[in-house]
Amino acid sequence: MSKQITGFSKLSKSNKIDWIVNTYFSNKEDAKNILKQYWNSNEKLQQLHDEFIENTITNYYLPLGVAPNFLINDKLHTIPMAIEESSVVAAASKAAKFWLDRGGFKATVISTTKVGHVHFIFSGNIEKLQRFFNEVKPKLIEDAKPITKNMEKRGGGILDIELKDKTSALPNYYQLHATFETKDAMGANFINSCLEQFAKTLKSEALNFEEFSNEEKVIEIIMSILSNYVPNCLVRAEVSCPIDKLSDSDDIDPEAFAKKFVQAVKIAEIEPYRAVTHNKGIMNGVDAVVLATGNDFRAVEAGVHAYASRNGNYSSLTHAKIENGIFYFWIELPLALGTVGGLTGLHPLVKLSLELLHHPSASELMEIVAVAGLAQNFAALRSLTTTGIQEGHMKMHLMNILNQFEATDAEKNKLIEHFKTHVVTHSAVVEAINKMRSGEF
């Protein structure tokens, strides 16, 4: 039975593990051995991982794979992908190879503006507040200079600060809506530091503003925080080719495939039930690269799905059309990414992944990530509208099922050969394993 513990964070790593093992596991020795198996034998490297977060007890591994042959803006890339789901890397690689012979992917960063807010309560006269803001705005920027000077040297900094009246949605609620350019940094810490300084200046200067009554002088700061919704930090990726070049198989009629593909995208544009799964497939590619490059995939997910709902209905992130005999397929994504700061300079595999990508700038990484999402979606829709999604996916999943049943190398070889000509389902694989082990196969 679980029990409360005080001072857990102050325990040594070894003592944390002892408490967890003794409290929660029946086979204590096995549990402890599993936790320790995933420690890095390099003590310095393990300490680095231990210090990424709090209360670390072990490492949680994900496979790091690569998808080669991505031609992006006429430059060839091999893209690193950290993900556990079967068939994602294979699908991305297949899409990359397909478009390599058709001009590759084109990508453009549309804008790189990021946003943060100071949320506050003011119960006085709005016209006075607006005059106060106009007067204090230069000081807001000036007081943040110690924070912004290094970012400004790199070409970034505060772009603008606006006063937003949100009282129609919530009584007495206003915000400072600030926009930033953070160059190659994702910029979360920079933005939050600026916002907290804005809040201090706003509150202190209000006390000295002569037009405010004594009650109006008290501005209540609720919070100061960046937004992960970045609709103006936007990148576009696209592919196109003549319809007659859209097939690499005698079994697929290119014109019929193009029409069916466009219809599949249109369904995802108007049907939220389909759009969620459609966009999840896009994020298979996006998240895998974001994670491999040490960026915050949770922030990216939140921002992307908000963007997919920006018109009031949840909709597809990709779009397709046929025009004058040409097939067009494209995506626009809001992506706040960094190639400096955070894990990018700490995690050895992150540094390796960025080097693999030719040390991209943040804008170049935005392009690469958007391309990975588009490629993943193309591969998924191509399967869905031709052979069906399960044929390729289950063949990639076959190894997971075999490992689940602890198949030997000899059993794996025999069953992989068998399922080259048979449909892979979980039940079919289990049946084949049982028959093999009973001598019937």
DSSP 233-267: EEEEEEEEEEGGGS-SSTTS-HHHHHHHHHHHHHH
Catalytic residue among 287, 296, 364, 367: 296
Alpha-carbon torsion 286, 291, 293, 294, what sign? positive
In terms of phi and psi (left: phi > 0; alpha: psi -120 to 50; beta: otherwise), the region of 218 is beta
Question: Catalytic: 183?
Answer: no
Catalytic residue among 280, 359, 422, 435: 280
Catalytic residue among 94, 119, 137, 393: 393
Separation of alpha carbons 296 and 291, rounded Å: 7
Question: Catalytic: 420?
Answer: no
Catalytic residue among 18, 85, 271, 301: 85
Separation of alpha carbons 80 and 100, rounded Å: 18
Question: Catalytic: 49?
Answer: no
Question: Catalytic: 287?
Answer: no
End-to-end Cα, the chain, rounded Å: 46
Q: Per the structure block, which two tokens stand in for 389?
A: 């999604």
Reduce the DSSP state of residue 327 to 3 states and report it: strand
Report yes or no: 382 and 87 within 8 Å, Cβ to Cβ.
no
Side-chain-side CA neighbours of residue 293 (13 Å): 34
Spatial CA neighbour of 376 closest among 34, 14, 83: 83
Report yes or no: 402 and 412 within 8 Å, Cβ to Cβ.
yes
Tell me which residues are annotated as active site. 85, 280, 296, 393
